Amino acid sequence: MNIQPVLMPAIKRIALVAHDNRKNEMVDWANWNKPILTQHMLCATGTTGALLETEVGLCVTRFRSGPLGGDQQIGAGITEGHIDFVVFFWDPLESHSHDVDVKALLRIAAVYNIPIACNRSSADFMVTSPLMAGEYVRLAFDYESVVSPAEEAASRV
């Protein structure tokens, strides 16, 4: 399997997502980390983005609400190379109507080797890392170069 280097710029493109009962925690965390966050480009799902704009004063590109496709929009941003980093305060103990979208977002972040923080502690460690201050080359597997067993068998015919 090929590994492809992908440059993450010094100004990170960070996606912020929070489930309903984690939104206050996201606002508090964003206030605490506002000096760092203002140095980067931010996007968020609908309600989370609105809260970050009004409660924290951050400039945020807003996507749709998570259940209305916002999680999928962030996943698409990852696949298209427009998102470098995700902070997702999700609630693992609460069932959500869009659980499949949550799982898909977590999966796509793993596939593209995107840093993702799923709780406040990991978000704190990530945004205060020395790697936040400059460019970073993340290594991503080139899954498109992998030939499936079915394709390999068909090529022998």
- Specify the CATH number for the domain of residue 94: 3.40.50.1380
Q: Which residues are catalytic?
A: 71
Binning pLDDT at 50, 70 and 90, where does residue 2 land? Answer: confident
The order of strands in the sheet holding 60-62 is 60-62, 41-44, 13-18, 85-89, 116-117
Please state, for a pLDDT cut of 90, what percent of the chain lies above it: 69
Asked whether residue 33 is assigned to any structural domain, the reply reads: yes
Domain holding 41, by residue range, is: 9-134
Q: Which amino acid is at 54?
A: T
By the 8 A CB rule, do 115 and 126 touch? yes
Q: What is the pLDDT of residue 82?
A: 96
Q: Report the domain count for the chain.
A: 1
Flag whether 119 is in a domain. Answer: yes
20 within a domain of the structure (yes/no) = yes
Q: Is the separation of the CB atoms in 23 and 47 below 8 Å?
A: yes
Is 24 contained in some domain?
yes
On the question of pLDDT at 154 being above 70, the answer is no
> pLDDT digits over 37-81, tens only?
999 999 999 999 999 999 999 999 999 988 888 889 999 999 999
